[in-house]
Amino acid sequence: MPHARLTRARALALLAGVAGLSFCARHTRSGIGIGSKNFSEELLLGEMYARLLEHAGYSVERKLNLGGTNIAMASILRGEIDLYPEYTGTALLTQLKLAPMHDRAAVFRTVQAHYESQYGLMWLQPAPMNDTQALATTALTAQRFGLHTLSDCARLAPQLRLGAVPEFTDRPDGLPGLQEAYGGFRFATITLIDIGLKYTALLDGKVDVVVAFGTDGQIDADHLVVLTDDKHFFPPYQVAPVVRRDALARYPGIPAALNPLAPHLTDDVMRRLNWRVDGQHEEPADVAADFLARIGLVPSAS
């Protein structure tokens, strides 16, 4: 969930015209509008949703790679898209600005209820995958320091160099929250690293620990060790389609087309799919089509 974010002022400006634009946007588009955010996992999921709906007989309009959470949310509220993949933790913290919660079912019920009542948006079935924030290190560093859990990391932090994406040092579910929940976490140094370069910095030995996301493809590809969140601090980030209520009224077959995908999207599966895009440089559309055919949800193209 490498989620790009706008400033609060810009986000509010994007949302300001929602009511006036939604009717016009809905009625100048043909078919079901499918959006996504601007990173590999979202592109994969958006393409899967599109292909499943096409297989169900619907016409779709792809509006993938929109940007970060605020842009995707503004687009769906304006009616420029009908659905996009969203994460429960992102909805809870970034959009609803509620306190962190750690029980998967409770988080889902909370975001489901608030999105319906506040925005007229419906959550379909969430996948078991959890693209939560995490801390990761190399197997060699884990062995050298005896580093396996976040409690270990909290205690050993003065000997460790952290590589973090910028927002991690400020978010309540980032470093400040870890320091409050675990104590410690006073690293020898903290280097702010672009999200696309964090694993390179780790493997090159420039940092000892990096901020990771649970379904990053590099975790398996580079045999990294994800530190166990032994106090269950990080909230869950399950993914599900978020759909406009009026779109469900116009296209009642959307849930039946999309919900069968959810059980197949585990952490291991998403890591492999993400790595095909990020590490092997395959096109998201090709990876999505191949995966859906392999699990039998759409026919093979060959």
Q: What is the CATH number of the domain that holds 33?
A: 3.40.190.10
Domain that holds residue 42: 8-130+237-294
* Confidence at residue 276, expressed as pLDDT on a 0 to 100 scale: 96
User: Is the pLDDT at 166 greater than 70, yes or no?
Assistant: yes
User: Is the pLDDT at 114 greater than 60, yes or no?
Assistant: yes
Among the candidates 203, 226, 249, a domain finishes at 226
Interval 54-77 mean pLDDT: 95
Same domain, 123 and 243: yes
Would 289 be classed as within a structural domain? Answer: yes
Least confident of 124-128, 165-169, 207-211, 248-252: 165-169
Interval 215-228 mean pLDDT: 94
Same domain, 241 and 221: no
Number of independent structural domains in the chain? 2
Would 24 be classed as within a structural domain? Answer: yes
Same domain, 125 and 26: yes
Would 152 be classed as within a structural domain? Answer: yes
* CATH classification at residue 191: 3.40.190.120
Same domain, 93 and 110: yes
**Are 178 and 150 within 8 A, CB to CB?**
yes
The mean pLDDT of the chain is 90
286: pLDDT confidence band, cut at 50, 70 and 90?
very high
User: Is the pLDDT at 130 greater than 60, yes or no?
Assistant: yes
Would 98 be classed as within a structural domain? Answer: yes
Interval 22-35 mean pLDDT: 67
Taking the C-alpha atoms of residue 73 and residue 97, their distance in angstroms, rounded to an integer, is 14
Higher-confidence residue of 94 and 18: namely 94
CA end-to-end span of the chain:
32
Among the candidates 206, 226, 246, a domain finishes at 226
Same domain, 24 and 172: no
Q: At what angle do helices 40-55 and 267-278 cross, to 10 degrees?
A: 110
* Confidence at residue 16, expressed as pLDDT on a 0 to 100 scale: 40
Same domain, 96 and 137: no
292: pLDDT confidence band, cut at 50, 70 and 90?
very high
User: Is the pLDDT at 26 greater than 70, yes or no?
Assistant: no
Would 300 be classed as within a structural domain? Answer: no
Same domain, 121 and 248: yes
Interval 74-90 mean pLDDT: 97
Would 1 be classed as within a structural domain? Answer: no
